[in-house]
Structure 1
Amino acid sequence: MKDFDTDRFRYDGDKELKLKKAPSKIDDIYEDDMHYEALLRQQAEEIDKWQERMFAYNRYGLVAVFQALDAAGKDGTIQHVFTGTNPAGVRVYSFKRPTDQELDHDFLWRSWRELPERGTIGIFNRSYYEEVLVTKVHPEILTQSQRLPEKLTQDLDKLFEQRYEAIRSMEKFLYHNGFPTIKFYLHVSKKEQADRLIARIEDPEKNWKFEEGDVKERDFWDDYQDAYETCINETATEKCPWYVIPADDKKNMRLIVGRIVIEELKKLPIAEPQPDDKRFKELQKLIPIIQAQ
């Protein structure tokens, strides 16, 4: 893979994100399709190695949040980046529209339930961030559908400020308990999104991916851009950063995400399993017993 600095995609509160200036496409970091496949396999093996080491140490977990507009490639990125990782060490949860039970709790409740155990990687396909993104573009969800106390919805600017603060506090709490959170925004251009939506319509085998509502939401493109920009700037911190990933080229996107996951896993102070000579000698005594069975 060509050398490149992932810090260019990182937002940790030191710099302000201007989404219109963030690239949705960069030069290829792979030479051809064969090179891409080789790099992807190499990354998958490394992620698996570090997850196994994290599992053996059993002190840390990792939360990876994926957010994006429709057709940006969340599902495919998760599938390709983590293919090859031991399934026992990965938890993937896709957040849909809140259920009645979830609406009877606070907006973070359903996310707390799906957090990973120590030693595992928890992957959120969409997340609690929907509650400061979709609800900001469509505030009627808050005022009409979410059963909030009326006084909370009288000042929506204050409500969103409180939600940003709650998210920062949640992620800070998780970090200090051994669960750092990395957040990916897959940044696709409006033209590329249109091409992908049309491809879903034209291919009968991809029709199941298409929802008529996706077309309606494109009318709110600028509103979503503003909502994401504000959200990322409000919740990007040094310990729990956002990565704004160019998503017009899916191969580039997957390789960048894979590298960042590896880099974040390597930052964890995970001790390598140390050989125990005494235990090794004791285990040798079991070999003839097993052979005799």
Structure 2
Amino acid sequence: MKKIDASEYIVQSPVDLSSISTYEDFDASDKRLERELKKVRVKLGDFQNTLYAHGKYGVLVCIQGMDTAGKDSLIREIFKDFNARGIVVHSFKAPSALELRHDFLWRHYVALPEKGKFSVFNRTHYENVLISRVHPEYVLTEKIPGIHSVDDIDERFWQNRFQQINNFESHIFKTGTIVFKFFLHISKDEQKNRLLRRLELKKKNWKFSPDDLKERQLWDNYQACYTDAINNTSQRDVPWHIIPSDNKDAARLIVTSIMYDELKKYKDVKEPNLSPEIQKHIDNFKEQLKSE
């Protein structure tokens, strides 16, 4: 099996999504990929326990992708070995009336991880430069001063929003939140196959909506918006990773490996030592329990 090289997926210079492969298998069978995933996710789960005890960093994992890209199943599979108290998954849908009374980043800010915990954003603050850009009429619901019609939403508006996102992510990184951003990159043909599967398998029917087909007609628009968003917001400390996702097993392994390889660089994340006073009496505590 070929070794996973995280540098192959990180965005360090402008990219063109149409030229990036959507498939990888590392010359390995599905079973081999599953075995490798299990090994790495156990290590990631162990790190999460140490992170929780250390209590000085939070980890934010942002998952974006077209419909059917595999966001839900990826989250389910790679965090199986986590202690439930150390991770929270947020699935962001259309903003509520309360959320629309605040700026577009508010609902994401309040969902950031506590120190010692992971937060996973299943769809993220990037919806505000993706679906809102494909459908600019959605921006009007935000009631932004100076924005009265779609005609007011020009290129400068989107550049400002990219900068606002960059500022947000830079701020949380500098204050102790480690940020991962993954774009699950699938082909249009693979999306068609997955939509058909939702229609053909009764247990998958609930996941299908006619709106999926309407949005599919806007594929090229979405690809252009993703390309622009990624190129404008991949920062040194908070980079994007583009994950080939036509093969779900490989995508899960890549994402898990990237996270573990990056997190283990944080050498200061260790279990705290007992206080000298407790350490001095630890043998007495043992004897007290044994004598019960």
Indicate if the aligned counterparts of 1:30 and 1:252 stay in contact, CA closer than 8 A.
no
Q: State the shift of 1:59 in Å.
A: 1.2
Q: Is 2:186 aligned against 1:188? A: yes
Indicate how the Cα distance of structure 1 residues 204 and 274 shifts in structure 2: closer, same or farther if over 3 A, else same. Answer: closer
Normalising to structure 1: TM-score of the pair?
Answer: 0.93
**AA partner of residue 62 (structure 2):** V
Indicate if the aligned counterparts of 2:34 and 2:249 stay in contact, CA closer than 8 A.
no
Deviations 1:166-197 (A, max 9, x none): 10001100111011211000000000000000
Q: Is 2:4 aligned against 1:4? A: yes
User: Which of 143, 146, 149 lines up with 1:147 in the alignment?
Assistant: 143
Q: State the shift of 1:155 in Å.
A: 3.8
Q: Is 2:162 aligned against 1:135? A: no
Ranges in structure 1 where 5+ consecutive residues have no aligned partner: none
**AA partner of residue 282 (structure 1):** H
After the TM superposition, list the runs of 4 or more consecutive aligned residues in structure 1 that deviate by more than 6 angstroms. none
Q: State the shift of 1:152 in Å.
A: 6.8
**AA partner of residue 86 (structure 2):** G
Q: State the shift of 1:275 in Å.
A: 5.6
Q: State the shift of 1:87 in Å.
A: 1.2
Indicate how the Cα distance of structure 1 residues 141 and 42 shifts in structure 2: closer, same or farther if over 3 A, else same. Answer: same
Residues 167-186 of structure 1 mapped to structure 2, 5 A cutoff: 167-186=165-184
Q: Is 2:283 aligned against 1:284? A: yes
Counterpart of 2:105?
A: 108
User: Which of 165, 182, 185 lines up with 2:163 in the alignment?
Assistant: 165
Indicate how the Cα distance of structure 1 residues 172 and 199 shifts in structure 2: closer, same or farther if over 3 A, else same. Answer: same
SS of the residue aligned with 2:163?
A: helix
Distance 2:83 2:37 in 1: 16
SS of the residue aligned with 1:123?
A: strand
After TM superposition, the structure 1 stretch with the greater mean CA deviation from structure 2, 91-100 or 46-55, is 46-55
Cα RMSD, aligned residues only:
1.7
Ranges in structure 2 where 5+ consecutive residues have no aligned partner: none
Counterpart of 1:69?
A: 66
Distance 1:7 1:49 in 2: 24
**AA partner of residue 133 (structure 1):** L
Residues 1-293 of structure 1 mapped to structure 2, 5 A cutoff: 2-11=2-11, 14-26=12-24, 28-29=25-26, 31-143=28-140, 145-151=141-147, 154-273=152-271, 278=276, 279-293=278-292
Q: State the shift of 1:34 in Å.
A: 3.1
Distance 2:230 2:255 in 1: 17
Normalising to structure 2: TM-score of the pair?
Answer: 0.94
